[in-house]
Structure 1
Amino acid sequence: MMDIMCSQTESVSLRELSTSNSHVANAIQGDGDGGDESRTLAMTSDARQIEARRKRALILLGASISQLPIWGFSMSYGVFQEYYLNNWTLAGSRDATGIIGTTSNGVVYLSIPFLSALFTRRWARHRQTAAMAGALLAALSFALSSFSVHVWNLVATQGVLAALGSALVYSPTTLSLGEWFSSHAGRKNHRAVAYGVTLSCKNVVGSVMPFVVRALLENYGFRVAVRIWAAVALGTSLLSIFLIPTHPNVLASTSEEEEEGYRRRGIPWHFLHHRTFYVYAVAIVLQSAGYGIPQSYLPTYAREVTELSQTSATLLLTVFNVPGILASSLFGYLSDNRYFPLSATTVTAISALCSALAAFLLWGLTSQGSLALLLLFSITFGFFAGGYSATWGGVINELESEAARWNEAVDPGMLYGLLNGARGIGYVSGGLLSVPLLKAGSEVSIGGLGYSSTFGPLILFTGLSSVFGGWGILWRWIASVRRVW
């Protein structure tokens, strides 16, 4: 994912490895007097490898723990949303609470390109400091939100400030994670495994947290529950930050650059001249605009339209997130395997079209008491839409291949950051549009089915935005026809 420092880190590690191996080889080829030295060098090499594996295991543990404070609130926000609507005590419009969850996701994703650019090299030594500041900001924002008296207080503290704090934890720790797992003899597959594990942990968080939040709200009420969450987020954030130090090679490189007056190569922006990047960026914006809506409104929909219990409504969010654990690995595999590799446009189209069909045929046709149909929608949409971001590896590979054909440099880390930024734009846009769409639905509500309820416009928007998330395959087909003619 974050490959900005990959080449330098790998080259340094390869030089160290080759030097160590040459010492061992020379010692082994020596006379009998060199036997002790060869054994000592071999033992030292084994000890270093064991220590490196232990450190990587701790770093992976830290990255997995960090998924809880970063995503725990936004992935379970639907439970908060339902509680706010049913226990309203604030001034202002209740409908405005619908933008908090999507805004939180949007702010995190929109911040990634900027924070990645800052902490990749020049501010690399300040990563842990910035992450700790972010953890404090997020915890303080959640604590302040418990004193809210107006709905805009919630939007500002939970939707914006807490999300900025989470982004400050996310970006530095993720950069360091990528560097530690790209330095093992230059083998990038270890980095892929590391990111796969952390992404799976993110979905585990999304599966468990709705029930935890529900229990906190029912037993302690909103204000105490948010304060408890602030403490949990702070503690787990600090623990994960201490477990993920900045790679020493990065710190050494940064020190050398500072001594030399900081001469840094600029980021290559050639990809901005090519249409392919914009096709995928627009697709991500559109898909993300619809993806965040079920996360925010499913529990409320289950209670108001299908008249399900609170437990069933919470179960929907859990079922929505569980399939993402498998989907992320599957869609990443489809984009990058040696048996039947599929193009990025094909994989994104599979994800987009199947999730759109789930919205149109399952969510839109639910009625009172339709728990089975809503569960099927949560599983299907959660699987296909949840795996969409895992297709970005194939997208970046395609952009890299295009850059190679034009003999241009490309920075995969910056590409990934910009794709995350596009996802953030989609989240924020979907959240802002959901309020007028819900209002329009309340004016034309005529029946008990999903389409004819207050949520009808939201369901249609979710399905349509999902469809256009796979429009890249249509663009590719039109380009092929033009070449033929």
Structure 2
Amino acid sequence: MAASVKQPTVVAGPVHTSHDVEDDAIELTSYSAPVERMSLHQTSFSLPPADGGKDAWMVLVSCFFIEALTWGFPFAYGVFQDHYSRLPEFEGNNSLLPAIGTTTTGIMYFGAPIVYSVCRRWPRFRKTSVIAGFVVIVASLIGASFATTPFQLLATQGILYGIGGAAHYFPAFLYLDEWFFARRGTAYGIVWAGGGAAGLALPLTMQWILSEYGFRTALRVWAVTSIILATPAMFFLKGRLPIHHASTGPQKVEIGFLKDPAFWIFLSGNIIQGLGYFLPTYYMPSFARAVGLKPIAGTIAVSLTNVSTMLGSVIAGWFVDRYHVTTGVNICILGTLISIFLFWGFAIYAPMLYIFAILYGIFAGGFASTWAGVIAPLKHKCPNVETGMVVTLFAAGKGLGSVISGPLSGALVDADGWSGGGGFAWGSGYGLLILFTGCTAAAQIVGWFGKQAGFVK
């Protein structure tokens, strides 16, 4: 007589919404082997609760630190750029220096959907990607500390760091999607706030190390610091759903949402906004010098932008969990435009520059947290859409803008015809850059127009 097989018992924890049950079922099907092919010891298991509990919060904290360590350093690049531009060994090819920061962020964003798709399709390699990517990050920092030309900095601090950062960071979205459903927007907001938290102290700390000991020591100190802080974060990063090696093979990645015009509407606005998003933090130190402020004023402004981004990310994430995503995006647009045209354009005094930095961080920094809110409109046509997949594609779009913005911003500064002729900051040599940043931020309004036209539900 054939042995009977006990059917699997799944305890999924508290149920928050109907979408939670649906998402749990989708993820369980994706990551676990079919029932009929499970061994007897695999057929009974329970899932820890989602949206709360010790394990969920530990994963969230781990993702927060991974975000802080991975993105905090590129977000402080403006301090390095200002330092590099004044070093004799890097004279003669200064045009490459702005491209280092934008290349780093661009590659990290570009790599997002690739890394996510690979780790989603072969989930057993998620932790491997996280660890291997971190090793590459450390190698890039050590390598950059031996650089003697701008091209070597671009290859190490720019390209190599970007590759390692993408492999290290983006698998975290898979873990986050397993642990949070009803509070997913808030969870993403908290994680993205990590970059702002690191960006508060890092520019000031690096400014001091750079001035006292030079960039070689600064890069090596950050490499050691990253090892100390990232090791426990990677240790506590674990999945909620079982991954069985007896699985039938690569898991399907849901891409049906690509047929929805709403996705392309939001993505187009995101790409254009990415052209100008990073420019204020990259040019803040050199801008401060251009308008006659003390060098420390630009560094403080970068720190204020980064820490304000932390606040803006959490608020925007909370907001899109409760209201339509276009409402959150429009608020971010309005606040960003006010900060740029009303405060940056007239920032010839330090207090005005600081006000701009805070407002820009809150409102422009909140844009990324609205990406999770795009899921709700997309679910109308693609119920199984995955937050992580959409977010990484949006990240790639932002990366495209970031890569283009490096050489483009340098050309805008070099060609600024308002230099010396305009009033306030508009005549500082950065007037065209200020105008360009404001215009690109306004492009996100396409989501609202799409809703009015009926393309966005």
TM-score, structure 1 as length reference: 0.79
Q: Report how far residue 323 of structure 1 moved.
A: 2.0
Aligned to 2:299: 314
Q: 1:110 matched to which residue of 2?
A: 110
Does residue 272 of the first structure (1) align with residue 258 of the second (2)?
A: yes
Distance 1:328 1:426 in 2: 20
1:130-149 alignment to 2 at 5 Å? 130-149=129-148
Structure 2 CA distance, aligned partners of 1:99 and 1:12? 40
Name the SS of the counterpart of 2:415 in structure 1: helix
In the alignment, which residue of structure 2 is the partner of 1:438?
413
Aligned partners of 2:113 and 2:392 also within 8 Å: yes
Match of 2:382 in 1: 403
Q: 1:220 aligns with which of 205, 213, 219?
A: 213
Do the aligned partners of residues 321 and 198 (structure 1) sit closer, same or farther apart at CA in structure 2, a change above 3 Å counting? same
The equivalent residue for 1:7 is: 25
CA distance in 2, matches of 1:447, 1:378: 22
Aligned residues: percent identity? 29
Asked if residue 331 in structure 1 is aligned to residue 321 in structure 2, the reply is no
Any residues of structure 2 matched to 1:367-382 within 5 Å, and which? 367=348, 370-382=349-361
The residue aligned with 2:366 is: 387
CA distance in 2, matches of 1:442, 1:94: 20
Query: Are 2:250 and 1:251 aligned?
Result: no
1:145 CA drift (Å): 1.0
Deviates more, 1:196-205 or 1:218-227: 196-205
Structure having the higher Rg: 1
Deviation at 1:119, TM superposition (A): 0.6
TM-score (norm 2): 0.84
For structure 1, the residue ranges without an aligned partner over 5 or more in a row are 14-44, 183-187
User: Partner of 2:222 in structure 1?
Assistant: 229
Q: Is 1:201 the equivalent of 2:200?
A: no
Partners of 1:378 and 1:251 lie apart in 2 by 44
**Equivalents in 2 of 1:416, 1:59: separation in Å?**
18
Q: Which amino acid aligns with 2:212?
A: N
Distance 1:344 1:176, change over 3 A: closer
Q: Which amino acid aligns with 1:63?
A: C
Residues 443 and 195 from structure 1, CA distance in 2 versus in 1: closer, same or farther, beyond 3 angstroms?
Answer: closer
Counterpart of 1:159 in structure 2 is 158
Match of 1:288 in 2: 274
On the 8 A contact 2:419/2:431 being kept in 1, the answer is no
Cα distance change on mapping 1:385 and 1:196 into 2, 3 Å: closer
CA contact (8 A) 1:353 1:466 kept: no
CA distance in 2, matches of 1:61, 1:331: 19
Confirm or deny that 1:302 pairs with 2:281.
Answer: no
**Comparing both structures, which one devotes a greater share of its residues to helix?**
1
Q: Does 1:464 align with 2:439?
A: yes
* Preserved CA contact (<8 Å) 1:95 1:435: yes
1:127 partnered with 2:163: no
Moved over 4 A (4+): 3-6, 8-13, 190-193, 442-445
Question: How far apart are 1:225 and its partner, in Å?
Answer: 1.1
* Alignment partners' CA distance in 2, 1:411 and 1:393: 10
